[in-house]
Amino acid sequence: MSKKFLAMALAAAMSLSLLAGCGKPASNPSGSTAGAGSSAPAATGKVNYLNFKPEADEYWQELAKKYTEETGVEVKVTTAASGEYETTLKADMAKSDAPTLFQVNGPVGLASWKDYCYDLSGSDIAGQLVSDDFALMDGDSMAGIAYVIETYGIIYNKALLAEAGYSEADIKDFASFKAVVEDITARKDELGFAAFTSAGMDGSSDWRFKTHLANLPIYYEYEADGIGDTDAIKGTYLDNYRAIWDLYINNATCAPTQLSAKTGDDAVAEFVMEEGVFYQNGTWAYGDVAELGDENLGMLPIYIGVDGEENQGLCTGTENYWCVNKNAKPEDIQATLDFMNWCVTSDTGLEYLCSGDKMGFVIPFQGNLESTNLLVNIANGYVKDGKTSVKWCFPTMPSEEWKNGVGNALTVYAADQTDANWAKVVDAFVNGWAAEKAAAK
């Protein structure tokens, strides 16, 4: 994806005014200009990176090794288990070899870690941003920098959808999507496949629903109320949340009672083995499903039955901000700044970050490469067609505890779909939100 189209896509997705080129990178606070091009700095200090993304661990390990081979600088990458990042970060920050590079998800995460964040203002990597809108500010201090922009929706198998007698043109909103899904379920034995892969609720998969799916009712409430955050979510669109969740769990490869034990790997395997047509996930999952062939892959918006949703696009945003530990040794801070800048400016770093056969990221830096990730290109197509991207609102979710409360309630409801059990989801969503927001103050 070109820099020009990256700017257009992100502006539409996040209502940002991007600048086409930000001039030459500025020197960092210590005066070093190392890492501004493809060459790496001389060996000094060390880097200790606590990575948020388990799916990218293999590539971060390889990239760290290549950087060390080129510069002699030690780079250690530790990856937190899915759903355990905050717990791992708290434990690791208490160690003598605390991370020098870590991550927060946005303003909510920053509130817990702002006292650890080095001011990135004027650093080389800050100079590489296509817009200052991708800087996470704490007053006048640049506490973090977004390093990846991602998109999610409902990935689908075009060949299976065609075999069922449909195409993407038949799906324009929740009502039409529901009709297609329920028809596939009615003919499941005849067709030999289900509508959805399993909506697993174990820790490797539940984030897709307690966070990513939950984003939709939050987004539409924020849009209706003209706000960007709240201490008291009303739950205006929770009936819509129930409707899409019902569709997922009652038209899948397994019974809803089995979801508590189903994993993310199960969902991937079911999709790749062509046991299900639809699979909620994002651009980062391209490598998992690419073996089906680009000609067989598509991506749909997540429709939940809201007026005007025929003009809705995919869900695009970020909850990935790099932060540098200001309590690290000065030489380790400098080594970390140099490593970050090398990642987004060097040929090697850009290949690993942007290539579809590696991390496949869209990055908000001047060096962003043309994407070989089909799902990224599909997302760009929605923007080009004038569809309104759904902003990522889940960085405003109160806490991981809130997400877990919603996830637990969703699992209970899936096993026994009564109004009383849905009321528990509503309670976790609305009252749990208010309680967690109040506790954070």
Q: What is the pLDDT of residues 169-181, one digit of tens each?
A: 999 999 999 999 9
Q: How far apart are CA 303 and CA 70, in angstroms?
A: 47
Whether residue 57 contacts residue 79, with contact meaning beta carbons closer than 8 Å, is answered with yes
Please give the average per-residue pLDDT across 182-208, as a whole number. 96
Q: How far apart are CA 163 and CA 257, in angstroms?
A: 28
For residue 434, report the phi and psi dihedrals to the nearest 5 degrees: -60, -40
The whole-number pLDDT of residue 44 equals 81
Residues 6+ apart with CB under 8 A from 41: 32, 34, 35, 71, 73, 338, 342
The whole-number pLDDT of residue 40 equals 58
Per-residue pLDDT for 36 more than 60? no
User: Tell me, what amino acid is at 43?
Assistant: A
Q: How far apart are CA 104 and CA 393, in angstroms?
A: 14
| Domain 152-316+390-439 grouped into CATH 3.40.190.10 | yes
Domain(s) labelled CATH 3.40.190.10 in the chain stretch across: 22-149+318-365, 152-316+390-439
What is the secondary structure of 36-75 as a DSSP string?
SSSSPPPS-SEEEEEES-GGGHHHHHHHHHHHHHHH--EE
Per-residue pLDDT for 242 more than 50? yes
Please give the average per-residue pLDDT across 387-408, as a whole number. 93
Please give the average per-residue pLDDT across 353-380, as a whole number. 88
23 CB burial (10 A radius; 0-12, 13-18, 19+): exposed
Alpha helices in 187-328 (DSSP H): 188-191, 207, 215-225, 238-249, 264-272, 286-289
Q: How far apart are CA 101 and CA 377, in angstroms?
A: 30
Instruction: Of 305-319, 323-337, 362-376, give the lowest mean pLDDT range.
Output: 362-376
Instruction: Of 131-135, 247-251, 314-318, give the lowest mean pLDDT range.
Output: 131-135
Six-digit token pair at 326?
């200001």
Residues 6+ apart with CB under 8 A from 241: 213, 214, 216, 217, 304, 425, 429
- Assign 380 a pLDDT band (cuts: 50, 70, 90): confident
Q: Which of 385, 363, 387, 384 is nearest to 373 (CA)?
A: 363
The whole-number pLDDT of residue 39 equals 54
Q: How far apart are CA 397 and CA 385, in angstroms?
A: 30
CA–CA distances in Å: residue 214 to residues 160, 245, 275, 304, 407: 27, 10, 25, 11, 10
pLDDT tens, residue by residue, 51-81: 999 989 999 999 999 999 999 999 999 999 9
What beta strand segments (E) does 71-168 contain? 74-79, 101-104, 135-138, 141-146, 150-157
Residues 6+ apart with CB under 8 A from 339: 35, 47, 49, 67, 73, 75, 101
Per-residue pLDDT for 12 more than 80? no
Whether residue 291 contacts residue 178, with contact meaning beta carbons closer than 8 Å, is answered with no
The whole-number pLDDT of residue 360 equals 83
Whether residue 324 contacts residue 118, with contact meaning beta carbons closer than 8 Å, is answered with yes
- Assign 295 a pLDDT band (cuts: 50, 70, 90): very high
State the pTM of this model: 0.79
Report the chain's mean pLDDT, rounded to a whole number: 90
pLDDT tens, residue by residue, 106-124: 888 999 999 999 999 999 9
User: Tell me, what amino acid is at 150?
Assistant: E
Q: Which of 169, 170, 172 is nearest to 183 (CA)?
A: 170
- Assign 28 a pLDDT band (cuts: 50, 70, 90): very low
Please give the average per-residue pLDDT across 373-384, as a whole number. 90
For residue 129, report the phi and psi dihedrals to the nearest 5 degrees: -65, 140
| DSSP, res 287 | H
Per-residue pLDDT for 185 more than 60? yes
| DSSP, res 227 | -
Higher local confidence (pLDDT), 242 or 3: 242
Q: Which of 338, 324, 349 is nearest to 30 (CA)?
A: 338
User: What is the 3-class SS of 371-423, one letter each residue?
Assistant: CCCHHHHHHHHHHHCCCEEEECCHHHCCCHHHHHHHHHHHHHHHHCCCHHHHH
Whether residue 314 contacts residue 153, with contact meaning beta carbons closer than 8 Å, is answered with yes
R_g of the chain, CA atoms, integer Å: 22
Which element (helix H / strand E) includes 315?
Answer: strand 312-317
pLDDT tens, residue by residue, 253-265: 999 999 999 999 9
The whole-number pLDDT of residue 41 equals 59
| Domain 22-149+318-365 grouped into CATH 1.20.1600.10 | no
